[in-house]
């Protein structure tokens, strides 16, 4: 299992999220719960695409 840092930002009426280790992997949502689900799915799809394209998967970084 890989774990990646995810940054979640609150905007006026929604949330946005990205992972600094997965360039272009972003998601949005109206609630905190929705953005967490959307970002989880975005990471899965992003990593699967990297695998299918035989591209480098960044090393998972864990933070305490």
CATH code of 35's domain: 3.30.160.250
Residue-wise pLDDT for 39-50, tens only, equals 999 999 999 999
The model carries a pTM of 0.86
> Per the domain annotation, does 63 fall within a domain?
no
In a domain, 46, yes or no: yes
State the total domains in the chain: 1
Is residue 2 in a domain? no
Cα 38 to Cα 15: distance, rounded to the nearest angstrom = 11
| Assigned domain for 1 exists | no
Q: Residue 2: pLDDT band by 50, 70, 90 thresholds?
A: confident
Which residues span the domain enclosing 16? Answer: 7-52
Q: What is the pLDDT of residues 15-57, one digit of tens each?
A: 999 999 999 999 999 999 999 999 999 999 999 999 999 999 8
Q: What are phi and psi of 54, to 5 degrees?
A: 55, 45
Residue 62 maps to a domain: no
Question: Is position 33 within any domain?
Answer: yes
């Amino acid at each position: 299992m890989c774990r990646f840092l995810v940054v979640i930002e609150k905007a006026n009426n929604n949330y946005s999220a990205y992972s600094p280790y997965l360039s272009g992997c972003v998601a949005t949502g109206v609630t905190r719960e929705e953005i967490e689900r959307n970002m989880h799915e975005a990471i899965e799809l992003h990593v699967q695409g990297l695998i299918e394209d035989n591209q480098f998967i960044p090393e998972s970084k864990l933070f305490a």
